[in-house]
Chain A
């Protein structure tokens, strides 16, 4: 995409900004619709109506909230470490935003076509931990500190099963580039890795159960990494007020929320790229059938966003189904269940891929 803008404008700065704006707009839209959808989904699951006063069907509720948030006074406590306090939300948001650089929205709509995209995303998404710890520490508040400590423990623990599953997928595909992983799963949905990947060899059918296990493990662990219920102990509102961003308000608080929803989309994107074909259409492209080649990228973007939203919906669904895990349960789930299963899964997938 950078090359495209560079060819178009011939200016390094303009093309860089143009490339950066696309994921930013996506994050904003995800946050705007995500907050609305979260309220609506929670309401429907609890047999309520949800927001319905601001605009038709309450569609402008998030816009109204956003405007309110911008108008708020930037109230800060006197005892905070002002520098770290101000940097922290930026850092958390930067971590989320950076991970969008390597996520392919279509074959060419990708911020940076780096070869180590998967590795890069794992690296920058754990960068968020630094911001969270900083926020908790600089707030000079017991709840914030507790929340950020929990967040650090949780995110670092759950990196391991994520990384192991990603490793097994890398072993199978032989590439770290997200675009190439998506390209392998092209054509139809039975080529997706959740259905054993492309080809019709015996190994494809042997892989299916282990792919499902891998999918469940990576879904649970990425859910924990974005601090959402049932793994929301870092910001457990019933015990820690709001966790690490208790002391924040207004725009800075909004940045944490943006980062949360951006992260939700990012992990959904990774799960859909690894197991559900990423931007690939499950039924072949309309553009190919009609012979209109310019339709294909649009379809790809559409499928990618649809898949992302599908997993965001599942995350919300889980949020309004399950109660929060206790700290010890959280740790035992990770270390006693997810990691052993992930390692066994890795070994078995390795053996199958040798066949």
Chain B
């Protein structure tokens, strides 16, 4: 009988205790972060979307070689003498036209291995993490600043230069047939 009344009391008392706790929480401010409007501050070294600063890229292909999933594709064309490609921000002289610099971000595994070999620090991870797309082809990011016509032009320029050089070389070789080969191709 004593147990019976104790049970009754326990039942009512514990319900009241629970109700007090939930009532307190009624006035606690919500912990929800309203995501699209409010964003959580990311840590300093987050690895998110890759970005390439093409002003600094010298087309050295080291990032593509470092990539474990081969998501970077680079094609370059040699410049001809007289063309000024400018210099990178850390003073390196650019010598190659980067005609293609594609990153397939769908393949990217965000390992950041491409960032470290870059001699000019032009490829890096940004803090952008919202880049979903409706079409998979949109995940191939094209960073090359040259359009198709320019690329064709550069290729033709290079071939023409190459042909001229060949012709020159042939002419020189025909003019004086020396046995030793001169260390000529150092300019390019």
- In the complex, B18 has a CB within 8 A of chain A: yes
Contact status B30-A43, CB under 8 Å: yes
Q: Are A337 and B11 also in contact (CB < 8 A) when A47-B31, A317-B19 are?
A: yes
Contact A337 B8 (CB under 8 A): yes
B21 at the interface (CB under 8 A from A): yes
Partner of A321, one of B12, B19, B32: B19
| Contact A45-B26, Cβ < 8 Å, known A216-B12, A321-B15, A321-B21 | yes
How far, in angstroms, from A43 to B32 measured CA to CA in the complex?
10
Q: What's the Cα separation between A46 and B7 when bound, in Å?
A: 28
| Interface assignment of A318: CB less than 8 Å from any CB of chain B | yes
- Tell me, yes or no, whether B186 is within 8 Å of chain A by CB: no
Given contacts A49-B34, A322-B18, contact A44 B8 (CB under 8 A): no
Residue of B12, B19, B21, B32 near A49 (CB, 8 A) is B32
B22 proximal to A (CB < 8 A): yes
Produce 1/0 per residue, A22-37, CB < 8 A to B. 0000000000000000
Q: Which residues of B contact A47 (CB under 8 A)?
A: 25, 28-32
A320 within 8 A of B: yes
Instruction: Write the chain B residue with the least CB distance to A230.
Output: B15
**Quick one: closest B residue to A319, CB to CB?**
B22
C-alpha spacing A44/B21, complex, angstroms: 12
Quick one: which of B15-59 are within 8 Å of A by CB?
15, 18-19, 21-23, 25-32, 34
Q: Does A48 contact B (CB under 8 A)?
A: yes
Chain B min CB distance to A344 (Å): 12
Contact residues in A for B26 (Cβ distance below 8 Å) = 41, 44-45
Given A321-B15, A337-B11, verify A48-B30 contact (CB < 8 Å): yes
Q: How large is the interface on A (under 10, 10 to 19, 20 to 34, 35 or more residues)?
A: 10 to 19
Of listed A43, A45, A337, residue having the most chain B CB within 10 A: A45
Residue numbers in B under 8 Å from A341 (CB-CB): 8
Q: A residues within 8 A CB of B29?
A: 47
Interface pair A322/B15, CB less than 8 Å apart: yes
Contacts of A52 in B (CB 8 A): 34
Task: Tell me the complex Cα distance, A333–B19, Å.
Answer: 19
User: Which residues on the B side are within 8 Å of A337 (C-beta)?
Assistant: 7-8, 11
Would B22 and A49 count as touching, CB distance under 8 A?
no
Q: Which of A63-101 contact B (CB under 8 A)?
A: none
Nearest CB in chain B: distance from A64 CB, A:
19
Closest residue of chain B to A320 (Cβ to Cβ) is: B22
By a CB distance below 8 angstroms, the chain A residues around B30 are 43-44, 47-49
Are A321 and B18 neighbours in the complex by a CB distance under 8 Å? yes
Pairwise interchain contact B19-A48, C-beta atoms closer than 8 A: no
For residue B23, which residue of chain A has the nearest CB? A317
Q: Mark A236-260, 1 if CB is under 8 A from B, else 0.
A: 0000000000000000000000000
Name the contact of B25 in the complex, choosing from A44, A216, A318, A333 (C-beta under 8 A). A44
CB distance from A180 to the nearest CB of B (A): 32
Chain B positions within 8 Å of A, measured between CB atoms, are 7-8, 11-12, 15, 18-19, 21-23, 25-32, 34
Can you list 16 A-B pairs with a CB-CB distance of less than 8 A? A44-B30, A45-B22, A46-B25, A47-B28, A47-B29, A48-B30, A48-B31, A49-B32, A49-B34, A317-B23, A320-B22, A321-B18, A321-B19, A321-B21, A322-B18, A337-B11
Which 7 pairs, one residue from A and one from B, show the smallest C-beta to C-beta distance? Answer: A321-B18, A321-B22, A49-B30, A49-B32, A45-B22, A44-B26, A47-B31
Question: Which residues of A are at the interface with B, using a C-beta cutoff of 8 A?
Answer: 41, 43-49, 52, 216, 317-318, 320-322, 333, 337, 341
Given A46-B25, A47-B32, A317-B19, 9 more A-B residue pairs with CB atoms under 8 Å apart are A44-B26, A44-B30, A47-B25, A47-B30, A47-B31, A48-B31, A318-B15, A321-B19, A321-B22
